[in-house]
Amino acid sequence: MLALLIIATAVIGAVIYYLIQWSTQRSHEAFKDRGIPYIPLPNVLTIMIRKARTELIKDEIIKREKVKAFGFIVLKTKTIVVADPDITGQVLSKEFTNFINRRIITFNDPIFDSVLSNARDEQWKRLRSVVTPTFSTGSIRRMKPRIDDIIGKLLKNFESTLKKDLV
């Protein structure tokens, strides 16, 4: 009876392990099919014995300094890191409308939870159409003197606070 229980546990464990590996492989194929370099998911034992997952990702980022973008998976969510300033600028300005649903960060606050970066689907499109004219080149150019003035005041406040703390 005990031998049967051990065999059943081993078979179930092997099936679960195979399903996890298969699922992981399918996730990596999404990056591979698009020609995006990716950080493969390490074996669970590697994470437990060697390093935390964040350390492994950090090490891979350092290795991939010269790569413009790469992907990795966090809890079944595919994530792409863009390291090239030109691509980042294009994504954040010209291609912004194509990136509707992003990772949501909740604050349990009605105001912060409804900001543009947390909005989804139609709400995102509506907010984006309202906000876009505010950040046109002309409006930012008109705001520049005010922004410079506020930054100057902020720097003066920092300097006076530093002097008080040093004395």
Residue 5 domain flag: yes
Report which of 29, 31, 52 is spatially closest to residue 42, judged by C-alpha positions: 52
Q: What is the pTM of this model?
A: 0.50
Q: What pLDDT score does 126 carry?
A: 84
Q: What pLDDT score does 53 carry?
A: 60
Plot region of 149 (φ>0 → left; ψ -120 to 50 → alpha; else → beta): alpha
Report which of 49, 55, 51, 29 is spatially closest to residue 40, judged by C-alpha positions: 29
Residue 111 domain flag: no
Q: What pLDDT score does 67 carry?
A: 76
Q: How many domains does the chain have?
A: 1
Could you tell me the residue range of the domain that residue 43 belongs to?
1-83
Q: What pLDDT score does 150 carry?
A: 95
Q: What pLDDT score does 60 carry?
A: 66
With a pLDDT cut of 70, the percent of the chain lying above it is: 81
Low-confidence ranges of the chain (pLDDT < 70): 41-65, 75, 166-167
Q: What pLDDT score does 9 carry?
A: 92
